[in-house]
Structures are given as C-alpha cells and as structure tokens.
Amino acid sequence: MEQRKITIDGNEAAAKIAYQLSEVIAIYPITPSSGMGEMSDAWSASGKKNIWGTVPSVTEMQSEGGASGAIHGSVQGGALATTFTASQGLLLMIPNMYKIAGELTPAVFHVSARSLAAQALSIFGDHSDVMQVRQTGFGLMASGSVQEVQDLAAITHKSSIESRIPFVHFFDGFRTSHEVQKIDELTTEELKKLIDNKFVHEHRKRAMNPDNPFIRGTSQNPDVYFQGRETVNKYYLAAPDIVQNAMDKFAEITGRQYHLFDYYGAPDAKRVIVIMGSGGETVEETVKYLSENMEEKVGLIKVRLYRPFSAKHLFAALPKTVEAIAVLDRTKEPGAMGEPLYLDVVTAFSEAMNSDNKPFEKMPKIVGGRYGLSSKEFTPAMVKAVFDNLKKEEPKNHFTVGIYDDVTNTSLEFDKNFIIEDKNATKCMFFGLGSDGTVGANKNSIKIIGEETDNFAQGYFVYDSKKSGSSTISHLRFGKNPIHSTYLIQEADFVACHQFTLMERFDVLEKIKDGGTFLLNSPYKTEEVWDKLPKKVQDQIINKNLEFYVIDAYDVAKKTGMGVRINTIMQTCFFAISGILPKDEAIQKIKDAIQKTYGKKGESIVQKNFAAVDETLAHLNKIDYPKEVTSQIELPPVVSPKAPEFVREVEAMMIAGKGDEIPVSKLPADGTYPSATAKWEKRNIALEVPVWEEDICIQCNKCVIACPHAAIRAKVYDMEYTKNAPETFKWTEARGKEDKGKAYTIQVAVEDCTGCQLCVEVCPAKDKKEVKRKAINMAPQIPLREKERENFEFFLELPEYDRTKLKIDSVAGSQLLEPLFEFSGACPGCGETPYVKLVSQLFGDRAVIANATGCSSIYGGNLPTTPWAVNKEGRGPAWNNSLFEDNAEFGLGLRLAIDRETQYARELLTQLKDDVGTELAEAILTAPQKTEIEIKEQRERVAKLKDILEKLDKSEAKELLTVIDYLVTRSVWIIGGDGWAYDIGYGGLDHVLASGKNVNILVLDTEVYSNTGGQQSKATSLGAVAKFAAAGKPIPKKDLARMAMSYGNVYVAQVAMGANDLQTVRAFIEAERYDGPSIIIAYSHCIAFGMDMSKGFEHQKLAVESGYWPMFRYNPLNIYQGKNPLKLDYKGPKIPLKDYVYRETRFKMLTKSHPERAKKLLDDAQEHVKEVWKIYSHMAAMDYSHFVENIKEEEK
Amino acid sequence: MDLSTTYMGLKLKNPIVPSASPLSEKVDTVKAMEDAGAAAVVVYSLFEEQITHETGELDHYLSFHAESHAEATNYFPEPEEFNLGPYEYLDHIANLKKAVDIPIIGSLNGVSSGGWARYAKNIQDAGADAIELNVYYIPTNPNITGSEIENMYIDTLKAVKENVTIPVAIKLSPFFTSMSNMAKKLDHAGANALVLFNRFYQPDFDLEELEVVPNLELSSNWEMRLPLRWIAILYGQIKASLAATSGIHNHLDVLKIMMAGGDVAMMASELLKNGIGRITEILKDMERWMEEHEYDSIDLMKGSMSQKSVNEPAAFERANYMKLLQSYEPNF
C-alpha cells in the first residue's frame, strides 16, 4: 500500500501518537524528552484533536513526581493519560508507577532513555533510567528507530488499554529522540482502526465515580497484602500475547510486522546478539554485512517487549542452531552479577534448559557486555568484536565494548578500520556554529531530500558542551536503501565547514573519503583562500584529491540583508554542489521551504532569504589548488604546554574531540576533577573584544562586576611592577585615596572574552572630546590576540590586593577581589554569572557550594574544563551538584556536616587547651570571624595550632588535625535557578529556610527553565510567553521573597545588578554575615527573554524602574533594634510597564500572536505591579518599635 | 451658524480635525472626539519601517541561540501564525469605521515605494475615507540634492494615487527652498490636500549622561504662524485643499487659519494637554466669536485674509521681516 512519507525525529514520532491516543497529558521538561511535551502543548494550544475528536489537556507540573501523580489521578478519574520523561525524571515517577501498576490502570510513559547522574550527570542516551523501573509492574517496550518509535508507540498504547498494564515505551535519548529520519506515516485513520474502543469504555467504567462509589488505595495488613500482590499475575501472564496480537493487528493495518522478539540474520546462525534500542539497527547492518560478505553465521534478536519478559517468545524467535549468545546492555549495575537483560536471558535459558521441555539441544554459551553508555558510539566494528568474542572457546564475559578499560580489562578490542557504511548512500558532514543556523539549515535539507525525493534520509546533530561560541556537527545520510547506521558518519562524501575558525579547532577533513567534496565558508578572497589554510589541511586536500569549493557566505549574507545568518546560503551551496536534485529544482525546493518556514514571520524575511539564494551561486567558486603543500601555518596546540599534566593529557583530548580515546585509567574513579581548568581552554570565540582607555577611565570597576566571564579585571598594585611590564601593557595612577602612588590596570583576557559588550554598555565614562568613545570600546580580536595574551599573563602575575584592606562593600572595592569563577561556558552576556562570580570574589576562598542542576551546573561543571578556580594560596570554592530537586537539602547537609565537624574540632581543642596553650585555644574558640581581618587572623591562629598539634603525641591531637580546617569559618552557598527554587525544589527550599541554619541561597531567576529551552516556571511573569505558556502566562509570578519573609528570621534580598550594583554587593555581604538562613533572588536576564544581551543591564534597570522587579532587603537583625526589617531599594513604578516589557520578545511576541489577549494581560500586569508596590511600601512602613520590648536581653 | 467646510472633497460639519496622535489609538477615544464635535479624525501613522523592523526582530530573537546546545534547540514556542504587518492597524481602521460616523483618515509613513503603494491600498480597503501621507524625512546625506528630494515626494504621491481611489493628502515639511513651487508640483501630481506642516521632533542633549535624548515637546501657539503664512500664500494658487497643523490651540487660531484660506485646522497638542472636551469649547467659542463679529458661515471668512485678499500682500514676504526688525525695541 502507498504510504505517506514524513521526515521527523524520534520525539515527534512518539509525541504525535501519544497525543492522538490520550486525553490528559502531564508534563515536565527534562532533556532529551522535553520536545515531546513542548509539541503536545503546542498542538493542544492550537486545538488539534485526538482520535476521539477532542483536544487533550496538557498540563505542566512542578516536577516529574508531580506529573506522575497527576497521571495517577487522571487514570483513576477515567482518562487515558500519558507523560514524557527521561533519566532522573523517570526515577521521580517510581512511587506512582507502583500505584498505577498496582491498580491495573492503563497508561503509557514515553521515555527518551538517558544516563543517570552517578559520578557525573550526563544528558545523553542509555538504558540506565528505564532499567530502574523494571520492578514497578510497568511493561517495558523498546524502539530502535524513528519508524519503530511511531509504530511501537501506537502498539504500546493499544496493549496497555487492552491488558490493563501500564507501559513505559522507551527509545534511545538523542540517538533516536533527536535523529531525523524519513518514515512511513501512521495516519489518524489507521490509529482509529487499531484502537478497540470497547477497552477504552471498560477503563472509564473502572474510574472513581460517586455514582458508583468504591474505595481503592486501602492499607493492608500481614494477613492479605501478600495475596493481594499475587492477584495481578494473570494479567502479566496474559500481556505478552495481548501485545503480540496488537502487533499483528498493526501489521494487518499497515503492513509493518513486529514481534516481541524480532530475529534478523542467518536462519542457521551460530552466534547471536541480543540487544534493545537503537544499537539493534547497527547490529542489523553488521549482521547483513557479515552474512553477505564474510559468510558468517550470525544473527540478532531485537528485544521489543522487555517486560513482561516472555521466555517462550524469545526461544521461538531464536534459531535452533545457536551456540553462543552475547547479551548487550546499555546500562551499568555496579556490583551485580551482570546487567539486567543479560540476567534475564540467562535466567530464561537456565530455567528452560533445566525443565523437561528443553527448547534447545544444548545450552548455548551466554555472555553479557556493556556498550554505548551516555550515547557512546556503537559501530559495526564494535559489533564485529562482539561476534568475534563469541567465536572463542571461552568468550570474555561481563565485557565492555567501545572503550579501552585498562584497569579491570573488561574491554573488547575492535578494529577501527572495519567500516561498512552503505557505499551507495551519500554521507555529508557539516561543521558550524550554533549561532550560524547550520543545524536548522540541515534539518531543512533533510526534510527536502526526504519528502521531495525517493531517497531515504537521516540527520543527526552533535552539539558541544558550551553555551557560548558552541560548535555543531551535522551528520546527514541519504540514499535508495533504508538507513540503519545509528552511529556517526565514518566516511563522508561531502564535508562543509561553515566557519573558517573551526579549521583550527577540529580535524574537519579527518572523515572525508578520497575524491570527496569539501565546501568552505571563507572570509578571504578566492585567490587568497589556499594560502590561509593550515599546512595539515592543505595536505589532506591534496592527498585525498578533494574537490574544493569556497564561498564568502558572510559577504553574501551582508549584501542580502541576512546579517550574520548564513544558513540559507550554505544550504544553497550544498544543493548546488551535491547534485542530489537538478539545480533549478533544488533552488525551487529551497524557496518553497523558505516560504513554509518564514512565511508567517513576514514577507520581508522571505524576500531576503530568496535574495540570499539567488545571490549565492554567483559567489560559489571551485578552487584549483596546487599539488604541493605551500602553507607554513601550523595548528596551535590544544592547550598551553604550561598546563598541568591532567589538563594536557586528559582534558585536552576532550577539547580536541578525541575523548573517546581516553582509557579508563586516566579518569578519576569518584568523579573528582581538579579546579581551575577553564583557563587552559583558550577558545578565542570573540570577533571583537573590549579595549581599555586608561585616560578616560574613572576606575569605577563597573565593567569588572558586569563581565559574565571574568574576562575583564582590575588590579591596584605598586608602581614598581610597571617597570617590567610588556610593551603594550597599560596602566594609570590609581585614584583611590588609600592607593595614592599606586598603579591601576583594567586588563582583558581577549582569548576568553565572548565579545558580549556588557562591559562597554555599563561603562559610564565618556571621552569629553568625542562622547561615543568610552573608557571601554570594542575592537577586532585577532590583531590584539598575541600582545594581550602576554599582557594578561603579566597581569595575573601581579600581586592581588590585600583582602583585609579592601572596602569590599563597595562596587569598586569588591571588584579588586580575585574572581574564583572564570571563563565559564555560559552564553555571551549571561545575566546569571556576574552574581555567581561575585560570590566567588567575596567568599570564594572559604565557600562550599551546592549547585542545583540547570544552566549554572552546566556552565559551572560541564567537562572538558570547569570555571571554579583557586587563588594563589590554593584556596577556592568547593563545588558539587547533587540533583535538580534536592539542592537546598544537599546544601543543608553540607552545613550540618560542617557544623558537626566544627563542633567536634572545638570540643577536641577544648580538651587540648592546656597542651596547646590556653590563650591560643581561647582565641580560636572565641574568634568572631565576620570580617576579612578576623578571618585572616583565625587562619593564622589555626596554622599555629597545626604546628603545635603535629608535634604533640596525643591521640586527641591527631584526631583534631583531621578536622582542624573546620575551625576557620565556611560559607555555605546553595545556588540554582528558578525552575529549582520555585518549582521542583521548592518544598526542600522552604524546609531549609525554616531550618534556621546558616546557609545562603542564591536564586538565579531567569523566569523560565533556561537550560532546557525556556519552559515556564512559577517564576514566569504575567503576560510572558514561554514554552507551556504559548498564549502568555495568565497569572503573576510567585512572590518567593514574600513567602520567605513570612518566617521572620530569614534574610531576604531581591536584587538586580544592572539596576543597582551597590545594593547587590551589600545584599550579598549582609546575607552571608547573617547567622541564619538567607535567600537572595537575583534578576538574571537571559537569552530566553529574546533580547539584545549586550543591553542586559539596561533591561534590568527598566525592570526596576517600571516596578516589574522590586528591589529590597529584609534583614531580621533590624527587628532587634526596633526597626522595620524591610528596606525598599526601589521607588515603585516610575515608567509604564510596557516601556520595559515590550523590549523583550517574550512579551512582545504575544502582541503578534494573540493581540487582544496581549492587551488584557498587559493591563493586568500593570495593575499587578502597582499592587505589589502598595503591599511592599505598606510592609516597609510598619512600625516595629514595640518588638524591642518583647525581645529578651540575651536575644538582643 | 454654518461651520461646515469641505476638505479634499469630504463634506465636514466643521473645520476641526484631530491630527495623527496617540488619541486615535483607542476606539473609545475616537468616539469621544466625535462626540465632542470633531469633524473627522486622522488616525495615528502606520510606519512601514516599524513593521519591517518588528518582523526582523521577531525572526531574529525567535531563532536566536537556537540549535546551539543539545538541551535547548530553541527558546520559544512557535505559534502557528503571527499577526504581522499592518493587520492590527487595518483592523483598527475598520473598527473605527464601525464605531463612528465622521470620516476616518488613515495616515501612512512608508520607506519603500512598494510599501507606500501597498499599505495605502490596504488602508483604503480597510474602509478609510482618505489617506494622509506622512513623509517624515530628514535629508542628512550631503550628496542628495533638493530636486531629488522633491522628486521623491512627487513619486511617492504618484505611486499612492495610482493605487487608491480615495482622496490623498500629503503632509509636508516646511524645509523646501521653494515651497510654492513644491506645492504646485504636488497639486499637479494629484494631491487632494496639503497638510502644513510636519513638526520634526528635535532631539535634546542630556548633559549629565552625554547622550542625545528624544524629546517630545507639545506644540505652542506661536508655531501656527508658519502654516498660517503658507496657507495664506498658497490659497487660490492651487486646487488642493489646505490643512493647517501645529500650534492650533484655541478658537482664534482656527478662525485665523480659515481666514488665511485653510479648509481644516488640525489639533493634537491642545487635546493631549487639556482634553478632548476642548473641541467642544473651541467650537462654542468660534460660534460666539462669529456671532459677535457677524459671520454666519466659515465659507464667508475662508481666504478672506489670504495673501491675495489683503491690502498688503508684502506682509507675508520680506517686507514683513524688515518692518518687524525696525520696530523692535530692546528692553535693556
């Protein structure tokens, strides 16, 4: 039958079925499943109906725990319900999963399977998460390709409704969820035929209903719980046949047949691999190759239905000739006898072969192995290694494949040169930047090829771990045969490099085949390009005899009004050179796609894209290159030779994209990595960098406090040092009264700067002769790079200002403190990191940081290199990320441990008073440690104590030495975003606030879940558009500050650095000095606002002036003096709210999508802002004088 | 008392027409202006540049940073459609037409020749009774000659006239070397009215911040002298209707414009400052004044003090300047 083809990714394939077969959808964002919820929400918002003709309701919850609770309620309420999740999210659903399964209620959870956070978090794909729900009673169905995701999603829903068993339908995160494939579409009509409404009606009949009341969810006692648990057995026994029947019915309708276990390979295979998920595709491709080309008797079992596990069906699928089986698990269970799928297969065989009814003549050898954790590549070479292992008399068991384990020697060796990609398919790789639209263009190209030609098509996209200057690599395959290669391209026919600078960062031509085609976007003229290429690249082009094309896409973009977006231009080049479609037809298709993509955004956008297409071909040139290498340009080393050994040998490999080659022995066993490594990764991503004009500068240090990446710094130092300064190093005389005669320098780390321009925007000093010239101005980076590198190195060597002598409660003073958070991977112009950096400056040398998962844990802790740094004394923030939901509790735990260990140290010291000297002991025990001087003095005393203790031969002395560091005060910081603080972690946050313990909570409030792509949180403002609030959020932001104030003993501050940096600095210091819980809610502008990030601080100012963002400090200490604890640091709404909000796309776009609603929400928001001002001004005006009378003297 | 007048073929009950201002942004306010006695309303301007800018901005920020990081392939929900372009404005015109009986004059500020013509047609189709072309153009490029600028005005007018059938007024800047000649050219090109003059908002300096700041100053009474003079000069020399705008604050100002030869007197600052009710008051004051001075219609006074109707035509020319200077006595 003729099928309609569609080109979509795995998430869309799952979501479109789940949506059509559900009535209630409860969601919560988590990578890589977020897309499924987002699509469902968008469909629901646009009124798309399910197969029963009604629009499903889609609700975002506060956590995955919440989502699963809502699903439990919904299925009990009689609805068909679904949710989407992954990883930790699925773990949070486990309690409800037992309930849903225990009550035999149909439901399907679609899971893009992902690693779990263990020694580290990873967002990538494996089965660690789904393996943790085996025991819940949920069925488990595995899909291995985009086609299967769509088909098995439908089969799973049908099976669940009919069997009454809830199911998890899973597929590999990223590899399948984000892979774009051309598939046969399952139509609504087909879905209607598939679902038998009789079972739906029965499900509704079982719902809670006061017209037919009953009680469910009882508590049971030892007498019946056990028997009750066994009542469900018959449903589980019946389920496999129900699922197979559903598969058969599906085949009847669509012609696509699935089985619980699908066998592929030689009918008389001796060696068989058993596997689930996308790896099965690669095994299938390899089996085909080995059978056809090497006459090997091999086969594979693709496990579809993993739970309930049906041994009967497994044996029926396996060829009787099988002698050896390798069971591959994409998960790790430390300490187990083997991984779960392996154990299941072994158990199945063991039971069957010990029974009277043996399915096989002889027990095959069965071994288990691990592969592909966290989306580790799984290639035909690895599959072959697994089959080769099975050939051995004693095959290695409990092996790993794909890595080099030189510690416990688990790994199988594999031949990297065993490459079997389909020769008839065209394979293309594209190197680009996130900002240049390369991935978007390739997604578009795949759609054109998939939907406009008879080719099969596949697209997969690799992103880097940084949020600024991030690179992307797109892998596109297409051809006449179905594509089963679920791994990156190994031999490319076509390679395009959309950014000249990436030629230095990557081995772009490593994978290109001999005679392949290379397209380069070059800023140089055609005749100059060759000479600008590095030696190695020239050599590759010549040796591989490449067809070499160049275009100056930025020039074309500029001429056609496209700005810096070169996507359409490079896409046109690709079609023009690759010849997949006749040129004119290709151009027409691109234009059709442009019309489709941009039509709704206005005619002018369409027209300029059309112009770019038309202009491109005239600028595309083929290069006739010499046959000998002429270049003298060598590729720079990945990191400086001065870097520490671990950075040079391990992290540099990751930076260079060779992390796969790092052996197990080189990695730490417990996830502990050295601090201060970001400084070795010189990314040189800024086209322009700030340049300091010492004659104009007023030394306010505002540029320093604003810099999100600590790439612009100030120092005051003895003039003496300037004598040895490099030639172009700048300084001027320091202005501060105490610093008379000293030198002052603002230095830029040009190789670490992202070019965001925040520093230029905040600079208040202007040249009196030409006002556009400030004390900081932008200039091209490349001409400055060498000299400024030298200058920055010299600057770092200059002594730091003595902390004890600084006025740290000022902007200028605090910004002479060394930042211990530098060069993070945050977005250019990030609004969060200036606050994080401030914490590191003020308290970094004694800070212990608990960081919630989110943007701050990614830019703060994503390998290869990390930004938390150390000072010259070797001190710096100790940082860890536990989870998303538990950060406040994690931080409190750190506090409890510190308090306990400190108390123990004090007790030991008290016992040892006579041995160490009473005076010293007393001084240590009574030290206030509030100011920098007091802390410094305490450190000196503790050092002295250490010396004494080391000479003492007493067990208490030795014991004290193990906890002696606790005698110096520590500052506990609990940092995270609004998704954590307002939503998923709120319960814990509230509890920690109520604990009375001395912790400092910093909420980086971007008013959406930024890290996962801008989903609404309870911090999202009234009228703002966000994902899951496409029609603008109708209710105001939660007033977290006011809730915290309600305790009375919590220090609360709401700050906006861009509006008042001094208030920010003071709030941080007050919060830290307050001996109790403190919370600072910090306005953090974000790319998810849709704004010019260089104007971030200006936006903050407008937010405060409009009353949108109230600023204040609530200090409970004031109560003890009879003063009102609340001090307002803003003056109420001074400008209309629209003058602020309509400068940001998150608000403005509503006027374009829902104009009438936008007007109403703006009016509501304006009223709300006034109301909030009234409440706060009322609170701040209250008289607290009578409180003093009630406070006991000792409390004062 | 007959206050009626005819403006580019539109029969108006009196000569007071609120000019393009924020007052026309809401239907209720326009209704209030009608109730207060306004004879027609010029709606705030549709800016082509703004539409293009907003479209570009939306496209830029919706895709900004998309496909850069594995966890967030984009940052905004993508609505199925956007109300981009002039739709909001056109809906507003249509709504105004439904809500009031007085003529509605759309106002357009274009940048491209295609934009002028297309949006003018849109405004006509939305139901506007006439269009005012608001050519707000400051020539800063020293390579552009005066005649090039003049041709730009003429070409724009022609392009619009070719695309619409409703009357077209053109709002002019006072900075033409030969205003009379320019007026005549526009008249020949088919202008149904000349609106004199566009007030260019002059930026100010903030000396603390060393920044140029946009600054909106409402008009003051003396500013009406410029249109007054030019209407008096042009009256009778061209076919097009004449409208005065800038500095008209009271009944005397309106009467002066009428006597100079204007067909309508446009107001904005006075209404923004002292309320829409001022229209009613001014109309009453006009009637009172006309009764006292025995005028029974606007027609009777129209052009009665234009250059060609006064004893001293030179009063509008250089002679006026010399006389004034000589009579000026410093008070120090």
Residue B320 has pLDDT above 80, yes or no: no
Tokens of A735: 């202005």
**Contact by Cβ (8 Å): B42, B18:** yes
**Contact by Cβ (8 Å): B241, B263:** yes
Tokens of A895: 């506090």
For residue B300, give every residue at least 6 positions away whose Cβ sits within 8 Å of its Cβ, in sequence order, or none.
Answer: none
Q: How far apart are CA A1041 and CA A1081, in angstroms?
A: 7
Please name which of A479, A482, A437 lies closest in space to residue A461, comparing C-alpha atoms.
A437
Contacts of B78 in chain A (CB under 8 A): 42
Which pLDDT score, from 0 to 100, does residue A602 have? 80
Domain boundary among A791, A823, A855: A823
- Classify residue B68: in a domain, yes or no: yes
Tokens of A757: 């321009």
Q: Does A175 share its domain with A131? A: yes
- List pLDDT tens digits, range A105-125: 999 999 999 999 999 999 999
Task: Verify whether the Cβ–Cβ distance B76 to A604 is below 8 Å.
Answer: no
- Classify residue A831: in a domain, yes or no: no
Residue A229 has pLDDT above 80, yes or no: yes
Q: Does A955 share its domain with A987? A: no
The answer to whether A279 faces chain B, any CB pair under 8 Å, is: no
Task: Verify whether the Cβ–Cβ distance A1014 to B83 is below 8 Å.
Answer: no
- Classify residue A922: in a domain, yes or no: yes
**Contact by Cβ (8 Å): B90, B29:** no
Task: Verify whether the Cβ–Cβ distance B63 to A46 is below 8 Å.
Answer: no
Mean pLDDT of chain B: 90
pLDDT band at A552 (very low <50, low <70, confident <90, very high): very high
Provide the 3-class DSSP secondary structure of residue B323: helix
Q: How far apart are CA A718 and CA A734, in angstroms?
A: 10
Q: Does A272 share its domain with A228? A: no
**Contact by Cβ (8 Å): A1078, A993:** no
Q: How far apart are CA B67 and CA B59, in angstroms?
A: 15
- Classify residue A841: in a domain, yes or no: no
Q: How far apart are CA A45 and CA A105, in angstroms?
A: 27
What percent of chain A shows pLDDT beyond 70? 99
B residues 208-237 closer than 8 Å to A (CB) = 210-211
Please name which of B262, B257, B264, B255 lies closest in space to residue B238, comparing C-alpha atoms.
B262
Q: What is the number of structural domains in chain B?
A: 1
What is the secondary structure of B137-165 as a DSSP string? Answer: -----TTS-HHHHHHHHHHHHHHHHHH--
Q: Does A436 share its domain with A521? A: yes
Task: Verify whether the Cβ–Cβ distance B62 to A601 is below 8 Å.
Answer: yes
Q: Supply the CATH number for residue A37's domain.
A: 3.40.50.970
The answer to whether A45 faces chain B, any CB pair under 8 Å, is: yes
- List pLDDT tens digits, range A370-428: 999 999 999 999 999 999 999 999 999 999 999 999 999 999 999 999 999 999 999 99
- Classify residue A848: in a domain, yes or no: no
- List pLDDT tens digits, range A40-51: 999 998 899 999
Which pLDDT score, from 0 to 100, does residue B325 have? 61
Q: How far apart are CA A919 and CA A876, in angstroms?
A: 30
Residue in chain A lying closest to B112 (CA): A604
- Classify residue B29: in a domain, yes or no: yes
Which pLDDT score, from 0 to 100, does residue A1088 have? 96
Q: Supply the CATH number for residue A568's domain.
A: 3.40.920.10
Please name which of A281, A271, A316, A269 lies closest in space to residue A171, comparing C-alpha atoms.
A281
Q: Does A548 share its domain with A400? A: no
Q: Does A348 share its domain with A310? A: yes
Residue B327 has pLDDT above 90, yes or no: no
Pairing of β A298-303 and β A261-265:
antiparallel
**Contact by Cβ (8 Å): A1184, A1192:** no
Task: Verify whether the Cβ–Cβ distance B58 to A601 is below 8 Å.
Answer: yes
Identify any residues that bridge with A325 across adjacent strands, giving them in sequence order. A272, A366
Task: Verify whether the Cβ–Cβ distance A602 to B57 is below 8 Å.
Answer: no
Nearest chain B CA: its distance from A469 CA (Å): 9
The answer to whether A596 faces chain B, any CB pair under 8 Å, is: no
What is the secondary structure of A211-243 as a DSSP string? Answer: TS----S----TTTHHHHHHTTHHHHHHHHHHH
pLDDT band at B318 (very low <50, low <70, confident <90, very high): low
Q: How far apart are CA A285 and CA A986, in angstroms?
A: 48
Residue in chain A lying closest to B68 (CA): A434
Distances (CA, A) of A120 to A92, A196, A881: 18, 45, 9
Task: Verify whether the Cβ–Cβ distance A1090 to B54 is below 8 Å.
Answer: no
Q: How far apart are CA B33 and CA A92, in angstroms?
A: 62
- Classify residue A859: in a domain, yes or no: no
Provide the 3-class DSSP secondary structure of residue A117: coil
Tokens of A658: 């060779």
Q: Does A285 share its domain with A238? A: no
**Contact by Cβ (8 Å): B272, B38:** no
Which residue in the set B55, B62, B69 is minimally distant from A463, CB to CB? B69
Contacts of A1091 in chain B (CB under 8 A): 61
- Residue owning tokens 């506990």: A972
Q: Does A308 share its domain with A442? A: no
Kindly state the helix (H) or strand (E) to which residue A1167 belongs, with its residue range: helix A1155-1181
Identify any residues that bridge with A836 across adjacent strands, giving them in sequence order. none
Nearest chain A CA: its distance from B64 CA (Å): 7
Longest CA–CA separation in chain B, Å: 83
- Classify residue A875: in a domain, yes or no: no
- Classify residue A863: in a domain, yes or no: no
Task: Verify whether the Cβ–Cβ distance B72 to A32 is below 8 Å.
Answer: no
Q: Does A319 share its domain with A242? A: no
Distance in Å from the first CA to the final CA of chain B = 48
- Classify residue B20: in a domain, yes or no: yes
- Classify residue B332: in a domain, yes or no: no
Please name which of A762, A785, A761, A774 lies closest in space to residue A686, comparing C-alpha atoms.
A785
Q: Does A484 share its domain with A550? A: yes
Which residue in the set B70, B75, B82 is minimally distant from A1153, CB to CB? B82
- Classify residue B93: in a domain, yes or no: yes
Residue in chain A lying closest to B61 (CA): A1090
Nearest chain B CA: its distance from A12 CA (Å): 14
In terms of DSSP H, where are the helices of A174-302? Answer: 188-194, 197-205, 225-230, 233-254, 279-294
Mean pLDDT of chain A: 96
A residues 407-466 closer than 8 Å to B (CB) = 433-435, 437-440, 443, 461, 463
Highest mean pLDDT among A386-400, A456-470, B173-187: A386-400
Q: How far apart are CA A1143 and CA A606, in angstroms?
A: 24
Residue B96 has pLDDT above 70, yes or no: yes
Which pLDDT score, from 0 to 100, does residue B311 have? 80
E strands within A372-503? 399-401, 411-412, 426-433, 456-463, 471-479, 492-497
Q: Supply the CATH number for residue B124's domain.
A: 3.20.20.70
Residue in chain B lying closest to A827 (CA): B65
Task: Verify whether the Cβ–Cβ distance B67 to A434 is below 8 Å.
Answer: yes
Tokens of B171: 């709002």
- Angle (CA) A761-A763-A769 rounded to 5° is 105
- List pLDDT tens digits, range B254-267: 999 999 999 999 99
Please name which of B63, B77, B56, B78 lies closest in space to residue A438, comparing C-alpha atoms.
B63
Which pLDDT score, from 0 to 100, does residue B319 have? 61
Provide the 3-class DSSP secondary structure of residue A690: strand
- List pLDDT tens digits, range A1038-1096: 999 999 999 999 999 999 999 999 999 999 999 999 999 999 999 999 999 999 999 99
Task: Verify whether the Cβ–Cβ distance A601 to B65 is below 8 Å.
Answer: no
Arithmetic mean of pLDDT, B291-305? 95
Full domain range(s) for residue A45: 5-207+220-254
SS (H, E, C) A877-929: CEEECCCCCCHHHHHHHHHHHHHHHHHHHHHHHHHCHHHHCHHHHHHHHHCCC
Please name which of A593, A572, A596 lies closest in space to residue A584, comparing C-alpha atoms.
A572
- Residue owning tokens 């070409």: B155
Q: How far apart are CA A1167 and CA A1171, in angstroms?
A: 6
- Residue owning tokens 């009438």: A1156
Return the amino acid letter for A202: E
Q: How many other CB atoms are found less than 10 A from the CB of residue A1029?
A: 25
Contacts of A602 in chain B (CB under 8 A): 51-52, 55, 58-59, 82, 84-85
Distances (CA, A) of A709 to A195, A468, A675, A676, A1101: 55, 10, 16, 13, 21
- Residue owning tokens 């969820």: A177
Full domain range(s) for residue B205: 5-327
**Contact by Cβ (8 Å): A28, A64:** yes
Q: How far apart are CA B310 and CA A712, in angstroms?
A: 72
Tokens of B327: 């009579």
Q: Does A483 share its domain with A388? A: no
pLDDT band at B135 (very low <50, low <70, confident <90, very high): confident
- Residue owning tokens 């204007």: B262
Which pLDDT score, from 0 to 100, does residue A163 have? 98
A residues 615-674 closer than 8 Å to B (CB) = none
Q: Which residues of A are catalytic?
A: 31, 64, 114, 1011
Report CA torsion sign: A992, A996, A1000, A1003: positive
Task: Verify whether the Cβ–Cβ distance B55 to A601 is below 8 Å.
Answer: yes
E strands within A45-132? 57-60, 81-85, 108-113
- Classify residue B130: in a domain, yes or no: yes
B residues 30-89 closer than 8 Å to A (CB) = 51-52, 54-85, 88
Q: What is the number of structural domains in chain A?
A: 6
Residue A279 has pLDDT above 60, yes or no: yes
- Classify residue B108: in a domain, yes or no: yes
Task: Verify whether the Cβ–Cβ distance A1145 to B61 is below 8 Å.
Answer: yes
Please name which of B332, B266, B296 lies closest in space to residue B105, comparing C-alpha atoms.
B266
Which residue in the set A438, A467, A1090 is minimally distant from B69, CB to CB? A467
- Classify residue A345: in a domain, yes or no: yes
pTM score, whole prediction: 0.94
pLDDT band at A1165 (very low <50, low <70, confident <90, very high): very high
- List pLDDT tens digits, range A745-783: 999 999 999 999 999 999 999 999 999 999 999 999 999
The answer to whether A467 faces chain B, any CB pair under 8 Å, is: yes
Residue A971: what are its φ and ψ, rounded to 5°? -110, 115
Q: Does A681 share its domain with A767? A: yes
